[in-house]
Amino acid sequence: MVTKKARIEQHSPRDAAMTETITIRRPDDFHHHCRDQPITQAVLKHAVPRFARCMMMPNLVPPVTTVQLALEYKERIMSAMPPEPHAKFQPLMSLYLTDKTDPEEIRKACALKNEDGTPTVIACKYYPSGATTNSASGVTDYKNLFPVLEAMQELGMMLCIHSEVTHGDIFDREPAFIDEIMKPIVAKFPKLKIVMEHISTKAAVDYVLSAPDNLKASITPQHLMYNRNHLLVGGIKPHLYCLPILKAEVHRVALVEAATSGNPKFFLGTDSAPHVTYRKESACGCAGVFSAHAAIEFYTQVFEEEGKLDKLEDFCSSYGADHYGIPRNTETITLEKKAWKVPAQYQFGEHPLTPLQAGEEIPWSIVGLEKVPGV
């Protein structure tokens, strides 16, 4: 039975080599870019086999700023589901905060429930204006959000934050955000539930560890697997360019230690972002890494290399759901130590997309999906 610890098995079928499998509760992704049609359908083809739930980012054009827009977006997502879903899948919706967000919109969002009683709109997203993709409508001054944050704190709504300022050295923008914005928000709203998304520095790890339990953090696969040398040495690698940008090795090591530690302050959020190849390989250099095609396999590889496969399930499948106050999933997935090669490209609408580790072999494969025994 898989409840608290992942089940890791080794077996040697007759006349076959030793194989290794790991079975964990089916994961959730609390930071996923699904975009809009026709790209949505291509994204879901990869996300649905790996995740039971994905929190869909609201930075569309125009952004998802109201409950009505969130419901319309959810309907478009459900209409784009693969014709034969691998398993039940639920999109978790979020609202895009602006300087003019009305606290009444937060109350409307919190009143809206799915059939199973879980929130339809599970969080609000704080993009500093100009910090990342489609963030021009974001917040210009965190103090403009005080009435909204007061309502969110009162109602228990999650605040998800792209935790970077928009000034200064690009490698220092996350620590600057902690000092200039995060600490004042936490001090003023001590009961507000917060996620620092896609943390990328040792400073963020240290801050999350020292902060009260209402503040936790998500970590992407790319920030666990790569540092800025991978991005820059031998020529710029546009498909590794994301925001927050990859940092020095000392920061990657700190993130790996945090993710694999078993500390419930850290959980899965891929920030998988589909940008077609010609837009990544252009002068504009769109920021974002597409990892949905192999996200769980990437995390499994990282945890295996650290000798921490027993911590994988909690990071991928438990701590995020617990922080958001929703039930843990009742299905499992099984991965096998069986290598497969990532295609050089996937087709996304009219254009190809280059995925993370395109053309490379990944050592783990998803081979099974079933119900958690006894649940």
Catalytic positions, please?
Answer: 271
Report how far apart, in Å, the C-alpha atoms of 115 and of each of 67, 79, 118, 122 are. 17, 18, 7, 14
Structural tokens at position 170: 């690009």
Contact (Cβ atoms closer than 8 angstroms) between residue 126 and residue 161: yes
Q: What dihedral do alpha carbons 196, 202, 203, 206 form, nearest 10°? A: 80
Residue 78: DSSP 8-state: H
> Which segments of 129-286 does DSSP mark as H helices, in order?
146-155, 173-177, 183-188, 202-210, 221-225, 228-232, 249-259, 277-280
The helix or strand, by DSSP H or E, that contains position 22, with its residue range, turns out to be: strand 19-25
Cross-strand pairs, 126: 161
Q: What angle do CA 188, 191, 193 make, to 5 degrees?
A: 105
**Residue 5, Cβ neighbours under 10 Å: how many?**
14
**Residue 276, Cβ neighbours under 10 Å: how many?**
21
Helices 39-47 + 67-79 axis angle, to 10:
70
d(CA 101, CA 193): 18
d(CA 305, CA 331): 26
